[in-house]
Structure 1
Amino acid sequence: MALGTIAFIAMGWGEEDEEMQEFYIITTFITAIAFSSYFSMATGFGLIEVSVSGVAEPLEIYWARYADWLFTTPLLLLDLALLAGADRNTIATLIGLDAAMIITGLVGAIATEGAASRIAWWGISTGFFVVLLYFLVSSLSGQAARQSGDVASTFSTLRNLVVVLWTAYPIVWIIGTESTLGIIGLTTETALFAVLDLAAKVGFGFILLRSRNVLEQATGAAQAAD
C-alpha cells in the first residue's frame, strides 16, 4: 500500500490541471489510508477480541479494516463517478449505500449476542451491497456510456473489477472466523482480505491512472458539461 501511494504521487507529480488532479489526489489517499490501517493491524493496535455468546473462544476482530473500508470504498466510488461524469444524486446514493454497508458490517463483526445475530447483520450489510451494485451497473454505467470510447472502456474495466472483487468480500466474511462458521482460519481469512484490498486499491489505481489521455477526455467532458 505504501509503494502504491508513492507510485501514485509520482504519477501525478507536476500535474497542473485541477480537474485531473482530483483523480490523483483521491487515488493516492485510498492507498495512504489503507497503508495506515494495515500498519495499525500489523502493530497490534487495530485488533480487538470480542466474546460472543455460544462461542468458546473470543474472536479476534481487525476493527481497523472496517475503518479503512469506511473511508477508502467511498473514495473508490468517487473515482468511478468522476470518470463516468455522474451527477450529484448518483454520487450521494452510491456513497450513502456504501457507508451503510460498511457500518452494518462492522456491527456484525463486533456483535456479542451470538452467531445468528452476527449473520443477520451480515445479511443486512450484503443487502445494502446488492442495492449498491444495482446502481453501479445501471445508473452509473448509463452515465458512463455517454463518455468517449476510451473513457467508457476504462470505466467498464474498473466497474467490472469492483463488482468481482467486492463480491468476494462478503463471501470471505461469511466463511471466515467473524461469522463464527470458521470454514477458513483467521490466517487464511486475513490473507484473502489483504489480497483483495491490494487488487481493489492498488490495482484499481494503476488501471485508472495509467492513461493520461483517458483522464484528459474525462475531465474535458466534465468541463464541457459545466
Structure 2
Amino acid sequence: MTTPATGLETWSLWIGTIGMTLGTLYFIAQGWSVRDAEQQEYYIITIFIPAIAAASYFSMATGFGLIEVPVQGLGTLDIYWARYADWLFTTPLLLLDLALLAGADRNTIATLVGLDVFMIVTGLVGALAREGAAVRLAWWGISTGALIVLLYYLLGTLSEQASAMSGERAALFARLRNLVLVLWSLYPVVWILGTESGFEILPLGVETAAFAVLDLAAKVGFGIVLLRSRSVLSGSATRSAQTAD
C-alpha cells in the first residue's frame, strides 16, 4: 500500500503540478485569438503537452501514480509509474511539433514516434522489473539505445528536412531541436543515478525534483520558445525552395 509523497518529493510534485497547469493556461490564453489554421495546429498540440503532464503530476502528488516494486537484492523500490504514462503521450506530441516545424514526411514522423514509444515502454519495463539490478540495467540500456537512435535521427534526417524551410523557421527548429537534445539526454542520467536503477546515488526526493525540473523545461519551456514565434508558424512560412520558384 503506497502513501502520498513527503518532503522534497511533495514539493517537487506539487510544483510540477502547478507549473504544468500554469503553462497550459498560458498557452490557452495566448492561442485564444489565433485564427490561422497552421498556427492553431501548433497551439492545440502544445496545449495538450502540459495539460497531460499536469494530470500526471497531480496523480503522483496525491499518491495515485506511485507503486511499490519488490526487486531481488534491492528490497522494495518506490516507482512513479504515472511519469511513464505522461511521457508516453507527451513526448510523441513534442516530436510532432518538431516534425511539423521541419515539414517532415509521414515516414519520418512514424519513425520518430515509433522510436519514442519503444524508448518509453522499455524504460517502464526496466522500472517495473523485479528480477534484480542486472535486468533493470539491461532494460535501461535498451531504452537508452533507442533514445540515442532517436536523437541521431533528429540531428540527421529531420534536420535535413528542416534545412529546406525558410530561414526563420529552420532557425527556430534548430533551437528547439537543441533544447530537446540537451534535456532528453539528461533523463537516462537521472534514472541511472536515482532510485529506479537501485544505485540510489540520488535519493528519491532529489531524483523526483530533477525529473520535475527537466519536465517543466522540456514541456513548458519548449512550448514558450515555439509559440512566441507566432509569425514563423503561419501558413506563409513555406519552404525556401518554393519561395525561390
Corresponding residue number in structure 1 for 2:60: 41
Corresponding residue number in structure 1 for 2:36: 17
Deviation at 1:37, TM superposition (A): 0.2
Corresponding residue number in structure 2 for 1:3: 22
Corresponding residue number in structure 2 for 1:207: 225
**Runs of 5+ unmatched residues, structure 2:** 1-19
Corresponding residue number in structure 2 for 1:131: 149
Identify which range, 19-28 or 97-106, moves more after superposition.
19-28
**SS of corresponding position for 1:127:** helix
1:164 aligns with 2:182: yes
Which structure's relative contact order is higher, taking Cα pairs within 8 Å and 6+ residues apart? Answer: 2
Q: Give the length in aligned residue pairs.
A: 223
Change in CA separation of 1:218 and 1:99 when aligned onto 2, cut-off 3 Å: farther
- Contact preservation (8 Å) 1:20, 1:219: no
**SS of corresponding position for 1:32:** helix
Corresponding residue number in structure 2 for 1:144: 162
Aligned positions of 1:51-90 closer than 5 A: 51-56=70-75, 58-90=76-108
1:109 to 104, 127, 136: 127
Which of structure 1's runs of 4+ aligned residues deviate more than 2 A?
A: 217-222
Deviation at 1:139, TM superposition (A): 0.4
C-alpha RMSD of the superposition:
1.5
Deviation at 1:30, TM superposition (A): 0.2
Which TM-score applies when normalising by structure 2?
0.88
Change in CA separation of 1:59 and 1:218 when aligned onto 2, cut-off 3 Å: farther
For residues 36 and 63 of structure 1, the distance between their equivalents in structure 2, rounded to whole angstroms, comes to 13
For residues 26 and 238 of structure 2, the distance between their equivalents in structure 1, rounded to whole angstroms, comes to 25
Deviation at 1:220, TM superposition (A): 4.3
Between the aligned residues of both structures, percent identity stands at 69
**Runs of 5+ unmatched residues, structure 1:** none
Deviation at 1:55, TM superposition (A): 1.3
Deviation at 1:221, TM superposition (A): 4.5
- Contact preservation (8 Å) 1:4, 1:202: yes
Identify which range, 184-193 or 209-218, moves more after superposition.
209-218
